[in-house]
């Protein structure tokens, strides 16, 4: 698909392009701890691949979060719009939400084809059915600013509450909060494991949070100081993959051990992470208008068709196609045959 003229951007999208709004942190000298056993970084860029891109119909639309459904549908949230997006059979749809979206960071698709998303303007967690029917579950906190959202195997929706210093479960209309006993909390990313456990990132605390299926919790300090962990995903082998925004690195925690690798020589503006069925780890590189792939300790960058592209979130569908929400006004896809290339 030939590149087209970029869409206009509203304030939030423009701010994210410069520096992600929710990741602003105070300036200062950040010490870097050296991790033992870190693999030597091997990095390469590949020629522009045959991306498929869908431009938003409204010039102010900025896709934020993206998720792939089991039925092949691709859902995405749209900042500054009163709709949620869905892509089916090559066609974009806008399903009305009645509320205007503001920083809709959390999104996940359930087994029944419905989508759950964070509704900051409505101070709620919302569910939209495959038919477009909206149900909202109002939060009872005076200040609501949800982060990412995930669905557990039992169908419960879990989401990060940076302003509430906790991770919250929504099941059968009931909220259950798990607060962090630290003023350094501020969770942002959240991911569910196959056994019902939850992993979250604590940006200010520079920690990972684990909530086991039995309700016990623990926080784990990152060995690299000032890394600022953000998005998180869990692989099929139980590896916990996470972005280190300030450190510009991809991290892994498995069997009590940390490992990480630098994403690029220059700060790539890491945002969004997903693990593919073949265990490749994909992430957005907003500042270099690229998608990144980590395989066998090696980073490969896939340059997007437009220099002003800003891939904020990524998802991998059941067939291995890699999807991205581009806040410059596009939803795009790297086909599996290119995504899997050596």
Long-range contacts of 25-33 (CB under 8 A, 24+ apart): 25/203, 25/204, 25/228, 25/246, 30/225, 30/226, 30/246, 31/225, 31/226, 32/224, 32/225, 32/226, 32/247, 33/223, 33/224, 33/225
Q: What CATH number is attached to the domain comprising 163?
A: 2.130.10.10
State phi, psi for 300 to the nearest 5 degrees.
-120, 130
pLDDT in tens, 174-209: 999 998 876 667 899 999 999 999 999 999 899 999
How many DSSP H helices and E strands does the chain contain?
2, 29
**Residue 32 belongs to some domain of the structure:** no
Q: Is residue 21 pLDDT above 60, yes or no?
A: no
Which residue, among 15, 28, 89, 86, has the nearest Cα to 57 in the 3D structure? Answer: 86
pLDDT in tens, 151-175: 999 999 999 998 877 899 999 999 9
Quote the pTM value.
0.87
**Residue 43 belongs to some domain of the structure:** yes
* Burial class of residue 142, CB neighbours in 10 A (0-12, 13-18, 19+): exposed
Q: Which contiguous run of DSSP H or E holds residue 192? A: strand 187-192
**Residue 8 belongs to some domain of the structure:** no
Residue 102 is part of which domain span? Answer: 38-339
d(CA 52, CA 260): 31
**Residue 72 belongs to some domain of the structure:** yes
**Residue 70 belongs to some domain of the structure:** yes
d(CA 245, CA 272): 10
d(CA 282, CA 266): 18
Going through 30-154 in order, the beta strands assigned E by DSSP cover 42-46, 52-55, 62-68, 74-79, 83-88, 91-96, 107-109, 115-119, 124-128, 134-138, 149-151
Number of domains within the chain: 1
d(CA 212, CA 84): 32
- Let me know: does 212 contact 197? Beta carbons within 8 Å: yes
32: CB partners within 8 A, 6+ apart: 224, 225, 226, 247
- Let me know: does 224 contact 249? Beta carbons within 8 Å: yes
Please report the DSSP string for 48-73 in residue order: ----EEEE-SSTT-EEEEEEE-TTS-
Is 1 or 287 the better-scoring residue by pLDDT?
Answer: 287
221: CB partners within 8 A, 6+ apart: 206, 207
* Tokens encoding 265: 């020589």
pLDDT band at 212 (very low <50, low <70, confident <90, very high): very high
pLDDT in tens, 238-283: 999 999 999 999 999 999 999 999 999 999 999 999 999 999 999 9
In this structure, are strands 166-171 and 174-179 parallel, antiparallel, or unpaired? Answer: antiparallel
pLDDT at residue 182, rounded to an integer: 66
DSSP letter at 100 equals: P
**Residue 16 belongs to some domain of the structure:** no
d(CA 285, CA 96): 30
pLDDT at residue 153, rounded to an integer: 96
Average pLDDT of the chain is 86
d(CA 119, CA 14): 21
pLDDT band at 25 (very low <50, low <70, confident <90, very high): very low
pLDDT at residue 129, rounded to an integer: 96
Helix then strand then coil, in percent of the chain rounded to 5, is 5, 45, 50
- Let me know: does 199 contact 210? Beta carbons within 8 Å: yes
CA dihedral 300, 302, 307, 311 (to 10 degrees): -90
Residues in the chain, overall count: 342
**Residue 27 belongs to some domain of the structure:** no
217: CB partners within 8 A, 6+ apart: 178, 209, 210, 211
**Residue 28 belongs to some domain of the structure:** no
């Amino acid at each position: 698909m030939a590149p087209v003229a970029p869409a206009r951007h509203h304030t939030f999208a423009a701010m994210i392009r410069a520096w992600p709004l929710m990741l602003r942190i105070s300036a200062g000298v950040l010490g870097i701890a050296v991790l033992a056993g870190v693999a030597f970084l091997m990095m390469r860029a590949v020629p522009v691949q045959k991306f498929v891109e869908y431009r938003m119909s409204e010039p102010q639309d900025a896709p934020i979060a993206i998720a792939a459904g089991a039925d092949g549908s691709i859902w995405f949230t749209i900042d500054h719009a009163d709709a949620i997006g869905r892509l089916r059979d090559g066609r974009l749809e806008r399903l009305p939400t009645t509320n205007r979206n503001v920083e809709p960071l959390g999104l996940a698709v359930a087994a029944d084809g419905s989508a759950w998303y964070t509704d900051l303007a409505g101070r709620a967690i919302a569910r939209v059915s495959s038919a477009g029917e909206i149900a909202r579950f109002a939060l009872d906190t005076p200040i609501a600013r949800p982060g990412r959202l995930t669905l557990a195997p039992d169908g419960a929706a879990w989401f990060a509450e940076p302003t509430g210093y906790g991770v919250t479960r929504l099941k059968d209309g009931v909220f259950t909060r798990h607060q962090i006993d630290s003023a350094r909390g501020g969770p942002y990313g959240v991911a569910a494991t196959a056994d019902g456990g939850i992993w979250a990132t604590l940006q200010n605390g520079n920690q990972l949070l684990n909530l086991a299926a039995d309700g016990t919790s623990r926080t784990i300090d990152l060995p690299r100081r000032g890394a600022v962990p953000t998005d998180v995903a869990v692989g099929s082998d139980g590896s916990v993959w996470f972005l280190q925004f300030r450190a510009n690195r991809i991290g892994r925690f498995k069997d009590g051990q940390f490992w990480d690798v630098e994403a690029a020589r220059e700060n790539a503006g890491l945002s969004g992470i997903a693990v593919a069925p073949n265990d490749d780890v994909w992430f957005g590189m907003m500042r270099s208008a690229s998608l990144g792939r980590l395989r066998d300790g090696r980073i490969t960058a896939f340059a997007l068709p437009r220099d002003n592209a800003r891939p904020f979130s990524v998802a991998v569908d059941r067939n291995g196609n890699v999807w991205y929400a581009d806040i410059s006004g596009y939803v795009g896809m790297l086909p599996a045959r290119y995504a899997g290339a050596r």
